[in-house]
Amino acid sequence: MTHTASSRTLLVVSHPVRGSHTWRVAETLQELLEASGGVVEIADLHAEGFDPTITAEDLLHYAGEAPVPKGIRREHERLERQDAVIMVAPMYWWNVPALLKGWIDRVFTNGWAFGHGQAADSKAQLPFARGGFVLLTSGSVADLDRHGYNASIATLLPYGVLSYCGRPEAPLLYLEESEAELTPEKANHWRASLTGFLSALGVGTEISLTQ
């Protein structure tokens, strides 16, 4: 199917405090997407009370011995109506928060997002055409590079999650010094960075997805 500038984007936000820098970033993304004619849906994982803990039912489904749990099927349905998905979160200990990690663990299921074991022949892949990550770091990209975390995070998230699930073109954006005051200068810089991220993601342009 082909989508134009009215494509649908889901923002998956993992932060408990409205008014935080993370939520300001999500709101800026929403504003930019809607300005281009897009339709935006927000998954507020904290407000929705998503349980990130893997269950026995999840593991039975992974092994092909049980259906998708009902709550996870609802997440699938939400993702299936999107053209793009952007995950927005602060970085905790050089990774995404446990809530977002658990959302990925439970929702990107075997036989739906990827095929493994008994589902290896399913050729399953994520139903949305494009995905990416926007992460807020209290340090700088130079800090990440110096300690080798930039490469490890790129392997862990865009490659290890989205590329593994059939979406290799997955941009990753870091917004630096996220614990400092959000000055007008920083806000403008972040806005420009988010605009570039959306361009790299291809949102607002024609999206072609074959399923």
Domains of the chain and any CATH numbers? 2-45+73-92+126-210 (3.40.50.360)
Give me the pLDDT at residue 155, please. Answer: 93
State how beta strands 207-208 and 2-3 pair: antiparallel
Give me the pLDDT at residue 56, please. Answer: 98
| Nearest CA-CA partner of 131 in 168, 97, 186, 105 | 168
Give me the pLDDT at residue 48, please. Answer: 98
Give me the pLDDT at residue 168, please. Answer: 92
Give me the pLDDT at residue 97, please. Answer: 97
**Terminal-residue alpha carbon distance, the chain:** 8
Average pLDDT, consecutive stretches of 10 residues, N- to C-terminus, the chain (211 residues)? 67 97 97 96 98 98 95 98 98 95 98 90 93 94 89 93 95 91 91 96 55 28
Give me the pLDDT at residue 180, please. Answer: 87
- Asked if 12 and 86 count as a contact pair (C-beta separation under 8 A), the reply is yes
Give me the pLDDT at residue 61, please. Answer: 96
pTM: 0.91
Give me the pLDDT at residue 208, please. Answer: 35
**Residue owning tokens 């199917």:** 1
